[in-house]
Amino acid sequence: MNKIGVMVCGHGSRDEDAIAEFAAVAAGIAERLPQFPVRSGFLEFARPVISDGLEELRRIGCRRILALPGMLFAAGHVKNDIPSVLNSFAARHQGLAIDYGRELAVETKLLKAAAQRIEEAEARAGAGVTREDTLLLVVGRGTSDPDANANISKVARMLWEGMGFGWAEVCYSGVTFPLVGPGLEHAAKLGYRRIIVFPYFLFTGVLVKRIYRIADEMAARHPEIEFLKAGYLNDHPFVLDCFAERVEEILVGENKMNCALCKYREQVLGFEAEVGLPQQSHHHHVEGIGTDRDRAGNGKDAGGSHRHDHGDPHRHGHEHGHAHHDHSHDHDHAQDNGHAHHGAGHAHPHPPHPHAGHRHGPQRRNPDALE
């Protein structure tokens, strides 16, 4: 009567490689949690959608579902969109409990996985350039949440100091600044013999492929600098271990994110107008649209949108359940306010970035261009 299931909630992508990699990660999580049935689903642009996975767990008798955000950091998708879908589903099925886990965030296992991806790139290049002569460029997804963006800077600093690079820089694939082009332009001026471009992403997709392409273009411009492209995290064993640990945190009641710098709770500098915004998903109209993959055999819409209360003691106007997003999602756009997703022609009413018009910002530059 109290059977427990695990639901891994991904963003979704129109890139088949990204969908396949997410499936591999979900399978790896299942291997680490043999005591629970594990299902997975997506917010948008791929199938099965999250509600499909939840329904399958319910049909096999699960009365408690432990839901994990399959993303790195907590921005809008983790704080708003996934909880909205989960809450809507729970409201339609009396007696079903859904508990939401926290994001992967910044932690030692993920830093070790990141270091190994960087070391793999160095090994492919061979000897000849020391780390003191190398600049590490860490590329984050970029969100409209400054707390999530700041975590990329923390990751970069810990890799910089821990691995002994001569310098480190941070840039983002979209939404905030600096974008990849300006970041690489700046890095190339600093006089280092080697630049390692490291996308701090979980999966491939439009954005990661674009990051690598821009790195190739910059390498062609600067033959005097060796550019290395490090792999993203993907299904590294330490990543899978972290996901399994997030499930255990739910079971012991430790699944709470850090709210100290949440823009929906506190008046974070520049984002004061967003305190207490209602929690709602912006993805219902594109659920299941995108690739032809449909492992669940259907594409039913999750529907619904309302607040999701996870019983956290730090309750406030925007109850985001203390979990986390990053990224790994695959929005191919330059800004996060009324943008068109993948040419679909629909708009998401995300709050604008307060400095989107910055000279290096998403409104002033084409994210695909170096100029």
Residue 295 has pLDDT above 80, yes or no: no
Residue 5 has pLDDT above 70, yes or no: yes
Do 175 and 278 sit in the same domain of this protein? no
Residue 38 has pLDDT above 90, yes or no: yes
Task: Give mean pLDDT, residues 66-74.
Answer: 95
Under a CB-based contact definition with an 8 Å cutoff, are residues 290 and 46 in contact? yes
Do 116 and 259 sit in the same domain of this protein? no
Do 82 and 122 sit in the same domain of this protein? no
Do 21 and 160 sit in the same domain of this protein? no
Residue 306 has pLDDT above 80, yes or no: no
**What pLDDT, in 10s, does the model give residues 112-146?**
999 999 999 999 998 899 999 999 999 999 998 89
Task: Supply the Cα-derived Rg of the chain in whole angstroms.
Answer: 20
Under a CB-based contact definition with an 8 Å cutoff, are residues 65 and 97 in contact? yes
Residue 332 and residue 346: Cα distance in Å, rounded? 13
End-to-end CA distance of the chain: 61
Is residue 250 in some structural domain? yes
CA distances from 280 to 67, 69, 362 (A): 17, 16, 24
Residue 271 has pLDDT above 80, yes or no: no
Is residue 333 in some structural domain? no
Do 88 and 137 sit in the same domain of this protein? no
Do 119 and 132 sit in the same domain of this protein? yes
Is residue 170 in some structural domain? yes
CATH of the domain at 196: 3.40.50.1400
Task: Give mean pLDDT, residues 71-75.
Answer: 90
Is residue 335 in some structural domain? no
Which residue reads 């979704």 in tokens? 12
Is residue 356 in some structural domain? no
**pLDDT-derived band at 73, boundaries 50, 70, 90:** very high
Under a CB-based contact definition with an 8 Å cutoff, are residues 326 and 80 in contact? no
Residue 336 and residue 362: Cα distance in Å, rounded? 9
Under a CB-based contact definition with an 8 Å cutoff, are residues 23 and 40 in contact? yes
Do 100 and 243 sit in the same domain of this protein? yes
- Half-sphere exposure of residue 307: CA atoms within 13 angstroms, side-chain side: 11
Kindly tell me the burial class for residue 128, based on how many C-beta atoms sit within 10 Å of its own C-beta (0-12, 13-18, 19 or more). Answer: exposed
Do 224 and 113 sit in the same domain of this protein? yes
Average of per-residue pLDDT values in the chain? 81
Residue 51 and residue 328: Cα distance in Å, rounded? 20
**What pLDDT, in 10s, does the model give residues 331-345?**
333 333 333 333 334
Domain around 83: 4-105+236-286
Strand, coil or helix: what is 194?
A: strand
Of 245, 269, 286, the residue at which a domain comes to its end is 286
Residue 15 and residue 12: Cα distance in Å, rounded? 9
Q: How many other CB atoms are there within 10 angstroms of residue 133's CB atom?
A: 15
Is residue 257 in some structural domain? yes
Which residue reads 């690739």 in tokens? 291
Is residue 371 in some structural domain? no
Q: How many other CB atoms are there within 10 angstroms of residue 152's CB atom?
A: 24
Do 77 and 154 sit in the same domain of this protein? no
Is residue 319 in some structural domain? no
Q: How many domains does the chain have?
A: 2
**pLDDT-derived band at 205, boundaries 50, 70, 90:** very high
Q: What is the pLDDT of residue 256?
A: 76
Phi, psi angle pair for 209, to nearest 5°: -65, -35
Residue 259 and residue 321: Cα distance in Å, rounded? 10
Edge-to-edge strand ranges of the sheet holding 134-140: 167-172, 134-140, 194-199, 226-229
Task: Give mean pLDDT, residues 72-89.
Answer: 91
Q: What is the pLDDT of residue 220?
A: 98
Which residue reads 């969109």 in tokens? 81
